[in-house]
C-alpha cells in the first residue's frame, strides 16, 4: 500500500482530533464544535479503515505458510496508473503450482527473472497472500 505511513498518521490525527473535539465541546454544549468534531472523526475513520484492513490481511497471510517461488515472467498492469507509471504483475512457480502477484514497485523487472521470492499464503484462504519483496534473491 503506497503511502501507508502517511495515510495511517493522517487518519489517526483526524480521528483523535475529532474525538477530542466531541468530548471537550459536548460538555460546553457548543453544537457547532460538536458537529465539526464529528466531521473530523468521520474523515479520520475513512483514512483508518483501509489501513486496518491492510494490516489484518497482512497478519492473516503471515500466519499461514511460506512458499518459495521463482519468478518466471511478468507483465505490465495497464489497468492501474500511479504518477503516469504502471505497476507490474509477476508470475511465479513453485512445485508445479503457479502464483500471480501484483506489486506497486516500479523497479526493472528483468533483474528478478529466475530469482526466488517468499510468498506468505493464508491457510484458510489462498487468495490472501503477501509477497516479501525484500526476500528477492
Note the pLDDT of residue 3.
Answer: 63
- pLDDT score of 136 more than 70: no
**At residue 137, does pLDDT exceed 60?**
no
At residue 63, the pLDDT reads 78
CA of 57: how far to CAs of 2, 20, 71, 117, in Å? 15, 30, 23, 19
Per-residue pLDDT tens for 42-63? Answer: 888 888 888 888 788 777 777 7
Per the CB < 8 A criterion, the answer to whether 110 and 97 are in contact is no
The band of 4, judged by pLDDT with boundaries at 50, 70 and 90, is low
Q: Are 129 and 121 in contact (CB under 8 A)?
A: yes
Give 101 or 120, the one with higher predicted confidence. 120
As a whole-number percent, the residues of the chain with pLDDT over 90 amount to 0
| Model confidence pLDDT, tens digit, residues 89-111 | 888 887 777 777 766 665 667 77
Q: What is the pLDDT of residues 15-30, one digit of tens each?
A: 888 887 777 766 666 7
Place of cell 507509471: 85
Amino acid 28: pLDDT: 61
Per-residue exposure over 95-127, b if at least 16 CB sit within 10 Å of its own CB, e if not:
eeeebebebeeeeebeebeeeebbbbbbeeeee
Amino acid at each position: 500500500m503506497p503511502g501507508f505511513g502517511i495515510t495511517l498518521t493522517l487518519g489517526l490525527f483526524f480521528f483523535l482530533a475529532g474525538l477530542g473535539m466531541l468530548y471537550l465541546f459536548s460538555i460546553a454544549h457548543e453544537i457547532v464544535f460538536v458537529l465539526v468534531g464529528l466531521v473530523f472523526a468521520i474523515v479520520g475513520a475513512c483514512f483508518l479503515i483501509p489501513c486496518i484492513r491492510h494490516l489484518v490481511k497482512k497478519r492473516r497471510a503471515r500466519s499461514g505458510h511460506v512458499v518459495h517461488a521463482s519468478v518466471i515472467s511478468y507483465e505490465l498492469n495497464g489497468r492501474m496508473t500511479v504518477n503516469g507509471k504502471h505497476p507490474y504483475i509477476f508470475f511465479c512457480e513453485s512445485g508445479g503450482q503457479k502464483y500471480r502477484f501484483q506489486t506497486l514497485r516500479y523497479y526493472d523487472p528483468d533483474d528478478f527473472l529466475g530469482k526466488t521470492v517468499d510468498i506468505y499464503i493464508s491457510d484458510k484462504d489462498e487468495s490472501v497472500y503477501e509477497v516479501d519483496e525484500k526476500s528477492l534473491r
